[in-house]
Chain A
């Protein structure tokens, strides 16, 4: 069991740190797809996609959710739940902290790239309901615990809203909005870390 959880932790970090794996995970979180569809969308060889899909599947990050006929060929359809990719306390405990920090830095860079691309494309701020909040917080111990809980809660609420939306769209067939939500919370570090 210890080996299994370590493998899962490593695989989660591998997804966060790799642009290609991150792109595969993002695609599948957005909607189920076959390896061929992913390969076409991401413009990479299908063998490469299959390799990463298999790894993510055996770690439990990606599920087989059905099959699709494509002419004579029957293809697997894969799906992913965003909850699977959350890096939990248990995961962090299993791996060197410097590795976790490195992966978070990579994930932040990917996020920055995505936000900047949306800003340049003009889609970032076009909806009035867009949220862009950056808020400095002076916290005592009690406040810190409350803030940590608030952010965890916030992420869970986003997942629930996503689930509801998917269910509605299955029935309504409404044209979807593609969006991204970032929830960042961290202790502020400035100047010389050596103090």
Chain B
């Protein structure tokens, strides 16, 4: 399936937040259907259904098997860099669909942030960012900030790779975090 099909699978209707949640979890670490169901508080049948959709779209693969509670289960993993959504992915669709998927996408990411707020991610420490900068820019300024975001994304990819490599050695459990960077004309 091509990029277009993959994005349609993720954001198409009916939009199921569980699909995004499963996808995100697997981007962070491999897991079985049961583990995902426990983590996300969802019935395992629903999780299995989403895994099937995601596998068909080529977003998720199987890394191996494990025996748990007397049963053999697949270990699922997100395929390489899927999980990063950028504007270019949206461009493959006609304009009216771009808006529809764009709105779905915004809903998903802000729900994630709000859930984190409700879950206490913004309490008791200052290791987070919730920053909005209203901007009045010339063309060069807009380009410059865009380049700054691109560079931040590349750095984040490096940080992620380095973390995964270190954790493979130490066996340390990762903390899951989300970065959302938006630059748009109002």
Partner-B contacts on A (CB < 8 A): 26, 29-31, 82, 86-89, 92, 97-98, 100-101, 104-105, 107-112, 114-120, 122-127, 129-144, 146-148, 150-152, 154-155, 157-159, 161-162, 164-166, 168-169, 172, 174, 176-193
* Interface status of B98 (Cβ within 8 A of chain A): yes
- Within the complex, what minimum Cβ distance (angstroms) separates B88 from chain A? 9
Contact in complex: A130, B185 (CB < 8 Å): yes
Residues in B with CB closer than 8 Å to A146 are 159
Write 14 A-B pairs (CB below 8 A) sorted by A numbering.
A86-B131, A117-B186, A119-B103, A133-B181, A134-B178, A137-B178, A143-B166, A144-B175, A147-B159, A176-B136, A185-B179, A187-B127, A187-B177, A189-B115
Contact in complex: A177, B110 (CB < 8 Å): no
Partner-A contacts on B (CB < 8 A): 21, 24-25, 27-29, 39-42, 83-87, 90-91, 98-99, 102-103, 105-107, 109-110, 112-146, 148-150, 152-153, 155-156, 159-160, 162-164, 166-167, 170, 172, 174-186
Choose one: B131, B136, B176; the contact of A183 (CB below 8 Å): B131
Contact in complex: B128, A188 (CB < 8 Å): no
- Within the complex, what minimum Cβ distance (angstroms) separates B109 from chain A? 5
Contact in complex: B99, A119 (CB < 8 Å): yes
Contact in complex: A182, B132 (CB < 8 Å): yes
Contact in complex: B90, A125 (CB < 8 Å): yes
- Within the complex, what minimum Cβ distance (angstroms) separates A185 from chain B? 4
Contact in complex: B106, A115 (CB < 8 Å): yes
Contact in complex: B139, A174 (CB < 8 Å): yes
Task: Tell me the complex Cα distance, A8–B143, Å.
Answer: 34
Choose one: B24, B146, B162; the contact of A136 (CB below 8 Å): B24
Choose one: B42, B160, B178; the contact of A184 (CB below 8 Å): B178
- Within the complex, what minimum Cβ distance (angstroms) separates A142 from chain B? 7
Contact in complex: B132, A124 (CB < 8 Å): no
Given A123-B186, A176-B138, A133 and B163 contact (CB-CB distance below 8 Å): no
Choose one: B106, B159, B170, B184; the contact of A123 (CB below 8 Å): B184
Contact in complex: B118, A183 (CB < 8 Å): no
Task: Tell me the complex Cα distance, A151–B181, Å.
Answer: 10
- Within the complex, what minimum Cβ distance (angstroms) separates B112 from chain A? 7
Contact in complex: A189, B153 (CB < 8 Å): no
Given A155-B131, A176-B138, A185-B128, A190 and B40 contact (CB-CB distance below 8 Å): yes
* Centre residue among B40, B87, B130, B174 by max chain A CB count within 10 A: B130
Task: Tell me the complex Cα distance, A136–B112, Å.
Answer: 11
Task: Tell me the complex Cα distance, A14–B119, Å.
Answer: 22
Residues in A with CB closer than 8 Å to B42 are 191
Choose one: B21, B86, B135, B176; the contact of A162 (CB below 8 Å): B135
Given A119-B106, A136-B24, A161-B148, A144 and B134 contact (CB-CB distance below 8 Å): no
- Within the complex, what minimum Cβ distance (angstroms) separates A136 from chain B? 5
Residues in A with CB closer than 8 Å to B128 are 185-187
Besides the contacts A135-B160, A136-B24, what 11 more A-B pairs have beta carbons closer than 8 Å? A101-B117, A112-B106, A119-B103, A135-B156, A135-B181, A137-B163, A140-B166, A144-B175, A176-B136, A188-B28, A191-B42
- Within the complex, what minimum Cβ distance (angstroms) separates B181 from chain A? 4
- Within the complex, what minimum Cβ distance (angstroms) separates A156 from chain B? 10
Residues in A with CB closer than 8 Å to B99 are 119-120, 122
Contact in complex: A131, B146 (CB < 8 Å): yes
* Centre residue among B105, B132, B145, B174 by max chain A CB count within 10 A: B132
Contact in complex: A151, B184 (CB < 8 Å): no
